[in-house]
């Protein structure tokens, strides 16, 4: 049992470290380091431009999308090299956030289902960050139940005509392309009538509207489709096989092993270490210590769970299912941590923004946290996944499984 | 990076699991549970023959000379099987105290006897209510004899010897405490069994009346040695707890698959599924924290105090959580003496207190994290 690199890993790490040291945009390092909680914002620069420039620089030197094949803009690196890279990239990895969906979900789906000429055309600029992609799955009527989506695609000559609405699309407002899951046949059960496409987001009839979130910020969008035409050669997979195609996409969603998940714990521990309460230092208060200890072992448990997965990669094995707990644990923890940090501030905890304690860091965390527990699979979906795929418990009983989609009830009450 | 056990160590774990599945069935555990024997003597003998009792004891003292990682994987299986033997008292506490502080003569006398299964040892630290703290040690040592009362002492009623914490000063500092070795055959020791939460692991009250004792380690070093012993034991117990948590989770999962209610497997209800998913989460966090503790223990790393406290807290929580919810998944049958669920519930809650309670270790963890940050 050890934490040491193998000689090859050490060599790769040294090469990566040297290149990052010589090329990373160091002027933003401090800001990026502090921006681990929710949004990444740079005061005096456009984050989008900085992120694209960094991604392009990486791509030109062969450091973009490490695990992708070289012919599609990657490096053909091993999974463990990808982990080592992300450890070395450190705070600059924050700049990859706008590419996560494209690199983590759209790219792998294109690789598995697009025509060869499309792969060669579209994947390299996706890897280099010159083109940004988004994923158009969720709808008002289909969140956790993605297969309940209603956006229609109807064949018209060699084209498909799209009408409907998507929601919760991250980055649609700055995306060039998207992968789109549609319903092509409403007369068969819901999982059987779906078809996947990719499209140019500048296509006629695509309208992107930002969503104002409960936190007040806008990171997501609604996307409306009105008679949008997509040529049939941009179809991914067979007609009616969209559900299977989407599983490829979704399986890639949370597979970023070794990516640090924010729990809020280091920030809380640091805060409590210097905070004075009415009757003494917070860190010497029995109740505070008990809370901190409980969160400390969750944070360290996640860290070492991730180390176990990395070790499996290092041995050339597939990591076990234990990594599936990360998002579930971290999501509700960051919410609890933020709530407690404000509790420690007493009545003044209500003040948010730049003039609040620590520039409102914990207040911002609290307001962002509900989204963390919903996006990319709700806590409940994550528990279902653990129960079904890890523990082997039966799937939910689905009353709409064999019912034609257009016969499924659409309203609860009245 | 290889933050995992080696193939040989995993093989040893499989070997221990197979051995315990055969020799330590729930039926065998029940003999002790029902008070028909103080511990499973046959199993104890078998563990000695397999080399498990002395796995971390050097060969020169009659052990297998493997190491703490090997002991960790065996500990996990002992927890999984809910083994009714004085393994933790003898191997994690008494043997580790001897390894840390024993003289050559003391090691020669006791370690081979532990490895061969001839001697059962324990640690006599607590004196009634309270957690490990120098001020709670009132038993006195003077002129080579001990006077005072220790309780609870795990496996005290079946022990042949004990490592005893005694007061040798009154300055109010850690240096007031020294450790002693007491051979129960030498007289002056009265032992009384106490009823306790987990009858598969006995607890006793031991009265020392001019009991002959020899120093273990230097005078005034007792608290420092004890802290090291408790840290090591915290990691090793964490593996037992991880094994127990995993077993309780498995029992709950199996029952949820087998039991039909309202015309369907109860494991298809989200209320039940999600409870089991949460059990898996806490068991996984505990396992990962315990692996870190194992690494720190096996390399004698400076991180051991913090790693041990984290493993202790996480594994205690996981075992308690899995054991109680295993009963909940089983419903009414889980609350019968006949079903095995309560054995794990008892063990989980007894283990949560054995080395000092959860709140004590929470306090320790924060102290140790602060020390590290200050350094």
Contacts of B264 in chain A (CB under 8 A): 394, 397
- A253 catalytic per annotation: yes
DSSP strands (E only) in A217-345: 220-231, 235-236, 276-277, 280-281
Asked if B3 lies within 8 A of A310 by C-beta distance, the reply is yes
d(CA B348, CA B355): 13
Its sign, for the CA torsion B228, B232, B237, B238, is positive
pLDDT of res. B290: 98
Alpha-carbon torsion angle B116, B118, B123, B128, nearest 10: 140
B172 is written with which tokens? Answer: 């109010």
Helix H or strand E encompassing B184 = none
pLDDT of res. B374: 82
Average pLDDT over residues B136-150: 97
d(CA A195, CA A245): 8
d(CA A382, CA A246): 17
What's the first-to-final CA gap in chain A, in angstroms?
A: 61
Average pLDDT over residues B118-147: 97
d(CA B70, CA B307): 18
B32 is written with which tokens? Answer: 């002790």
Prediction ipTM score = 0.96
What is residue A3's three-state secondary structure? Answer: coil
Contacts of A391 in chain B (CB under 8 A): 249, 253, 276-277, 280
Question: Which residues on adjacent β-strands are paired with residue B216?
Answer: B179
Residues 6+ apart with CB under 8 A from B126: B132, B136, B150, B151, B152, B153
Average pLDDT over residues B107-129: 98
Contacts of A312 in chain B (CB under 8 A): 4
DSSP string, A97-142: GGGHHIIIIIHHHHHHHS-HHHHHHHHHHHHTTSS-EEEE--BTTB
Catalytic residue among A31, A154, A222, A253: A253
Asked if A314 lies within 8 A of B2 by C-beta distance, the reply is yes
Average pLDDT over residues B46-73: 97
pLDDT of res. A257: 56
| A256 contact B CB<8A | no
B263 is written with which tokens? Answer: 């015309």
Choose from A78, A271, A304 for mutation: most chain B CBs within 10 A: A304
pLDDT of res. A138: 94
pLDDT of res. A259: 61
Asked if A393 lies within 8 A of B276 by C-beta distance, the reply is yes
Question: Which residues on adjacent β-strands are paired with residue B208?
Answer: B148, B189
Q: Given A4, A5, A311, which is nearest B4 (Cβ)?
A: A311
pLDDT of res. A261: 77
Q: Given B4, B265, B274, which is nearest A394 (Cβ)?
A: B265
What's the first-to-final CA gap in chain B, in angstroms?
A: 26
Q: Given B4, B253, B310, which is nearest A393 (Cβ)?
A: B253
Alpha-carbon torsion angle A41, A42, A47, A51, nearest 10: -100
Alpha-carbon torsion angle A194, A196, A202, A207, nearest 10: 30
Tally Cβ neighbours within 10 Å of residue A372: 20
Continuous H helices in chain B: 7-23, 26-33, 41-49, 68-81, 87, 95-101, 104-115, 222-258, 270-298, 304-330, 341-354, 358-374
pLDDT of res. B114: 98
> CA angle at residue B297 from B215 to B114, to 5 degrees?
50
d(CA B279, CA B287): 12
Identify the residue with better confidence: A220 or B345: B345
| A315 contact B CB<8A | yes
Task: State pLDDT tens for residues B200-210.
Answer: 999 999 999 99
pLDDT of res. A57: 97
pLDDT of res. B373: 83
Choose from A312, A322, A391, A396 for mutation: most chain B CBs within 10 A: A391
For each of chain A's 414 residues, which pLDDT tens digit applies? 988 899 999 999 999 999 999 999 999 998 888 775 556 678 888 989 999 999 999 999 999 999 899 999 999 998 889 889 999 999 899 898 889 999 989 999 999 999 999 999 999 999 999 999 999 999 998 888 999 999 999 999 999 999 999 999 999 999 999 999 999 999 999 999 999 999 999 999 999 999 999 988 888 999 999 999 999 999 999 999 999 999 887 776 555 555 667 899 999 999 999 999 999 999 999 999 999 999 999 999 999 998 998 888 888 887 777 777 998 999 999 999 999 999 999 999 999 998 899 989 999 999 999 998 998 889 999 999 999 999 999 998 889 989 999 999 988 886
Asked if B295 lies within 8 A of A315 by C-beta distance, the reply is no
What is residue B143's three-state secondary structure? Answer: coil
What is residue A44's three-state secondary structure? Answer: coil
Between the alpha carbon of residue B7 and those of residues A86, B10, B13, B228, B276, the distances in Å are 28, 5, 10, 29, 29
Asked if A315 lies within 8 A of B284 by C-beta distance, the reply is no
A354 is written with which tokens? Answer: 């730049």
Cis omega (within 30 of 0) on the bond before B152? yes
The whole-model pTM stands at: 0.94
Would you tell me the crossing angle of helices B270-298 and A326-344 to the nearest 10 degrees?
Answer: 80
| A300 contact B CB<8A | yes
| A84 contact B CB<8A | no
Q: B145 φ, ψ to 5°?
A: -130, 155
| A289 contact B CB<8A | yes
Average pLDDT over residues B317-336: 98
Choose from A261, A292, A390, A393 for mutation: most chain B CBs within 10 A: A393
Contacts of A330 in chain B (CB under 8 A): none
pLDDT of res. A38: 55
> What residues of chain A, 359 to 398, have a C-beta less than 8 Å from chain B?
380, 382-384, 386-388, 390-397
Asked if B267 lies within 8 A of A387 by C-beta distance, the reply is yes
Q: How many CB pairs under 8 A join A and B?
A: 156
Asked if B276 lies within 8 A of A9 by C-beta distance, the reply is no
Between the alpha carbon of residue B344 and those of residues B91, B193, B357, the distances in Å are 21, 21, 18
Asked if B276 lies within 8 A of A387 by C-beta distance, the reply is yes
| SS (HEC) of B217-274 | CCCCCHHHHHHHHHHHHHHHHHHHHHHHHHHHHHHHHHHHHHCEECCEEHHHCHHHHH
């Amino acid at each position: 049992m050890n934490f040491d690199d193998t000689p090859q890993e050490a060599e790769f790490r040294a090469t990566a470290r040297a290149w990052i040291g010589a090329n990373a945009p160091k002027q933003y390092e401090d800001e990026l380091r502090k921006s681990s909680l929710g949004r990444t914002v740079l005061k005096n620069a456009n984050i989008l431009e900085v992120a694209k420039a960094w991604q392009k620089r990486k791509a030109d030197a062969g450091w973009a999308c490490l695990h992708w094949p070289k012919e599609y803009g990657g490096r053909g690196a091993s999974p463990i090299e990808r982990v080592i890279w992300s450890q070395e990239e450190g705070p600059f990895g924050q700049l990859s956030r706008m590419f996560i969906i494209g690199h983590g979900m759209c790219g792998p789906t294109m690789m598995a289902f697009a025509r060869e000429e499309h792969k060669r055309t579209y994947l390299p600029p996706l890897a280099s960050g010159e083109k940004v992609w988004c994923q158009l799955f969720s709808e008002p009527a289909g969140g956790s139940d993605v297969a309940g989506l209603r956006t229609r695609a109807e064949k018209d000559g060699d084209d498909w005509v799209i009408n409907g609405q998507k929601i919760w699309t991250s980055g649609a407002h700055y995306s060039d392309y998207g992968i789109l899951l549609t319903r092509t046949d409403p007369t068969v059960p819901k999982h059987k009538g779906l078809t996947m496409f990719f499209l140019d987001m500048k296509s006629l009839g695509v309208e992107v509207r930002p969503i104002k979130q409960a936190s007040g910020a806008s990171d997501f969008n609604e996307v409306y489709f009105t008679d949008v035409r997509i040529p049939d050669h941009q179809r991914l997979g067979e007609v009616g096989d969209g559900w299977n195609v989407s599983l490829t996409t979704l399986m890639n969603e949370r597979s970023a092993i070794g990516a640090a998940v924010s729990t809020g714990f280091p920030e809380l521990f640091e805060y409590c270490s210097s905070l004075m309460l009415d009757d003494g230092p917070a860190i010497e208060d029995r109740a505070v210590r008990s809370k901190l200890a409980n969160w400390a072992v969750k944070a360290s448990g996640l860290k070492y769970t991730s180390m176990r997965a990395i070790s499996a990669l290092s041995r050339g094995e597939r990591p076990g299912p234990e990594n599936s707990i990360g998002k579930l644990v971290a999501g509700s923890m960051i919410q609890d941590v933020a709530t407690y940090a404000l509790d420690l501030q007493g009545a003044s905890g209500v003040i948010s923004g730049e003039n609040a304690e620590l520039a409102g860091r914990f207040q911002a965390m609290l307001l962002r946290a509900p989204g963390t527990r919903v996006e990319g699979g709700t806590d409940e979906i994550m528990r279902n996944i653990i129960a079904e795929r890890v523990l082997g418990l039966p799937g939910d009983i689905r009353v709409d499984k064999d019912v034609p989609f257009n016969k499924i009830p659409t309203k609860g009450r009245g | 990076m290889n933050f995992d056990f080696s193939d040989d160590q995993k093989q040893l774990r499989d070997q221990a699991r197979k051995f315990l599945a055969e020799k330590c069935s729930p039926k065998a555990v029940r003999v002790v549970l029902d008070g028909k024997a103080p511990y499973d003597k046959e199993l104890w003998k078998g563990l000695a023959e397999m080399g498990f009792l002395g796995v971390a004891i050097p060969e020169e003292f009659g052990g297998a000379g493997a190491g703490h990682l090997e002991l960790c994987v065996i500990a996990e299986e002992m927890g999984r099987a809910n083994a009714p033997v004085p393994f933790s008292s003898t191997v994690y506490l008494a043997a580790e105290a001897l390894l840390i502080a024993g003289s050559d003569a003391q090691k020669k006398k006791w370690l081979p006897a532990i490895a061969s299964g001839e001697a059962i040892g324990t640690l006599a630290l607590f004196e009634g209510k309270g957690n490990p703290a120098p001020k709670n040690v009132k038993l006195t040592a003077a002129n080579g004899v001990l006077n005072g009362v220790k309780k609870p002492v795990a496996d005290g009623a079946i022990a042949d010897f004990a490592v005893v914490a005694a007061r040798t000063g009154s300055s109010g500092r850690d240096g007031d405490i020294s450790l002693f070795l007491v051979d129960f055959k030498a007289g002056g020791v009265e032992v009384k069994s106490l009823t306790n939460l987990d009858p598969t692991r006995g607890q006793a009250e031991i009265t020392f009346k001019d009991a002959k004792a020899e120093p273990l380690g230097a005078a005034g070093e007792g608290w420092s040695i004890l802290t090291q012993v408790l840290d090591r034991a915290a990691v090793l117990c964490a593996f037992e707890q991880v094994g127990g948590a995993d077993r309780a989770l498995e029992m709950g999962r199996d029952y949820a698959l087998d039991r039909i209610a309202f015309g369907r497997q109860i494991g298809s209800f989200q209320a039940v599924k999600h409870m089991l998913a949460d059990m898996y989460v806490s068991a996984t966090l505990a396992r990962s924290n315990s692996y870190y503790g194992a690494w720190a223990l096996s390399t004698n790393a400076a991180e051991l105090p913090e790693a041990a406290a984290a493993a202790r807290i996480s594994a205690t929580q996981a075992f308690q959580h899995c054991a109680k919810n295993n009963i909940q998944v089983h419903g009414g049958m889980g609350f019968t003496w006949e079903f095995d669920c309560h054995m794990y519930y008892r063990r989980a809650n007894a283990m949560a207190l054995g080395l000092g309670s959860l709140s004590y270790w929470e306090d320790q963890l924060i102290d140790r994290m602060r020390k590290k940050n200050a350094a």
